[in-house]
């Protein structure tokens, strides 16, 4: 069985070239081929509204030619395939994930407003692609608050103790192992606890933060046990922390190799694919690349 490729979507922008560098490194670590794809808005031969996939030789597409020139100087480059796609990027980019291990994009392309933190194509791909989507941000994103951590390579993943995301945890452990990195598991819990009472009544429930944190840590350790068994070489730091999950993950993204988040699960009353609020906030503000992982097919 052939190994699925890592796909890098390029459009000639600096953002997409940074994504190409990240994808090249990921393909090398996974011993997988690299597919470099350029989705063009306009085609000289495709009817309007009908996307047509046509592999193009690099000399016919200057964007792919620039990508080839960039990869010519890469150390130990993986096997590379180049292809051109004609049609709407918002429709075609997610389709690239149907036969890929990872789909990698820059945070912004050539179009759109300069003030945008994340382009619409990145949001669409992260929401709709069938494989994990990695968004590589522009360098220098400010992170006002950071989590204390040890130096060295680090992968970050968020854990909801009331509904852990197996697909996100699996990718996080895999990436940490491939990078010989520590895995920082951030388990957020709300604090202070808000107690709502009728007007005139006094709240009588007293919450012990130490007890809550101990319970969160015990739940986290239980969820992580099978992953630790499958990945004995990965060092895991479980971090129960009070506060907003998105804010904590953004804080942990400073100097991280990757932040891994799950895509919003489909619900009975909301069957459409969507990105959760935490995932969107992390995509917009994290200083490191962010991997958005779709739920397993059974969960979909």
pLDDT digits (tens, 9 = 90+) for 68-85: 999 987 778 899 999 988
**pTM of the complete model:** 0.84
**What is the pLDDT at residue 237?**
93
Expressed as residue numbers, the domain containing 205 is 154-293
pLDDT at res. 6: 97
Q: For the chain of 300 residues, list the mean pLDDT of each consecutive stretch of 10.
A: 88 92 96 93 51 54 91 85 87 91 83 54 88 92 80 93 88 97 91 58 61 85 94 93 90 95 64 74 93 77
CATH of the domain at 85: 3.40.50.620
**Contact at 8 Å (CB) between 145 and 247?**
yes
Whether 159 and 283 map to the same domain: the answer is: yes
Q: Say what the pLDDT of residue 32 is.
A: 96
In a domain, 141, yes or no: no
The single residue listed with the structure tokens 């994504």 is 19
pLDDT at 206: 53
Residue 63 shares a structural domain with residue 120: yes
Contact 157, 185 (CB under 8 A): yes
Q: What is the number of structural domains in the chain?
A: 2
Same domain, 125 and 160: no
**Residue 269: per-residue pLDDT:** 47
CA atoms of 84 and 176, how far apart (whole Å): 32
221 burial via Cβ count (<10 Å: 0-12, 13-18, 19+): middle
First to last CA, the chain: 25
> Is the same domain home to 126 and 66?
yes
Structure tokens of 149?
A: 């951590």
The pLDDT, as a whole number, for residue 249 is 95
Domain assignment present for residue 142? The answer is: no
113 and 196 fall within a common domain: no
Residues 15 and 124 in one domain: yes
Is 13 in the same domain as 132?
A: yes
Contacts of residue 11, defined as CB under 8 A and 6 or more positions apart, other chains included, come to: 38, 39, 63, 89, 109, 110
CB 176 within 8 A of CB 257: no
**Model confidence over 211-240: pLDDT tens digits?**
778 888 889 999 999 999 999 999 999 988
- Strands (E) in the chain, as ranges, are 6-10, 34-40, 52-54, 80-86, 102-106, 133-136, 154-158, 182-189, 236-242, 258-262, 290-293
CATH for 280: 3.40.50.12370
Whole-angstrom distance, CA of residue 110 vs CA of residue 10: 10
Q: Are residues 50 and 164 in the same domain?
A: no
Contacts for 119-125: CB closer than 8 Å, 24+ residues apart: 120/90, 121/9, 121/89, 121/90, 121/93, 122/283, 123/275, 123/280, 123/283, 124/90, 124/93, 124/94, 125/9, 125/93, 125/94, 125/97
């Amino acid at each position: 069985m052939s190994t699925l490729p890592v796909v890098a979507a390029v459009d000639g922008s600096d953002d997409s070239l940074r994504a190409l560098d990240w994808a090249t490194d990921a393909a090398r670590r996974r011993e997988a081929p690299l597919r470099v794809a350029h989705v063009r808005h306009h085609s000289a031969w495709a009817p309007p509204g009908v996307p047509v996939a046509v592999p193009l030789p690099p000399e016919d597409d200057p964007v792919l030619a620039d990508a080839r020139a960039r990869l010519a100087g890469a150390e130990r480059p993986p096997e590379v395939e180049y292809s051109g796609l004609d049609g709407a990027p918002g429709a075609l980019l997610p389709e690239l994930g149907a036969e890929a291990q990872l789909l990698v994009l820059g945070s912004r392309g050539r179009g759109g407003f300069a003030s945008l933190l994340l382009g619409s194509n990145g949001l669409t791909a992260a929401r709709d692609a069938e494989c994990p989507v990695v968004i590589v941000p522009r360098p220098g994103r400010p992170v006002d608050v950071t989590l204390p951590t040890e130096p060295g390579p680090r992968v970050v993943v968020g854990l909801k103790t009331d509904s852990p995301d197996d697909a996100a945890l699996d990718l996080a452990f895999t990436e940490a192992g491939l990078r010989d990195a520590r895995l920082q598991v951030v388990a957020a819990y709300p604090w202070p606890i808000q107690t709502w009472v009728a007007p005139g009544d006094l709240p009588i429930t007293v919450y012990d933060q130490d007890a809550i944190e101990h319970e969160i840590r015990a739940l986290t350790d239980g969820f992580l046990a099978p992953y630790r068994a499958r990945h004995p070489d990965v060092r895991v730091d479980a971090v129960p922390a009070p506060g907003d999950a998105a804010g904590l993950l953004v804080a942990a993204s400073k100097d991280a190799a990757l932040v891994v988040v799950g895509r919003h699960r489909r619900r009975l009353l909301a069957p459409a694919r969507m990105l959760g609020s935490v995932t969107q906030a992390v995509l917009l503000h994290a200083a490191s690349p962010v991997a958005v992982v779709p739920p397993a097919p059974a969960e979909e």
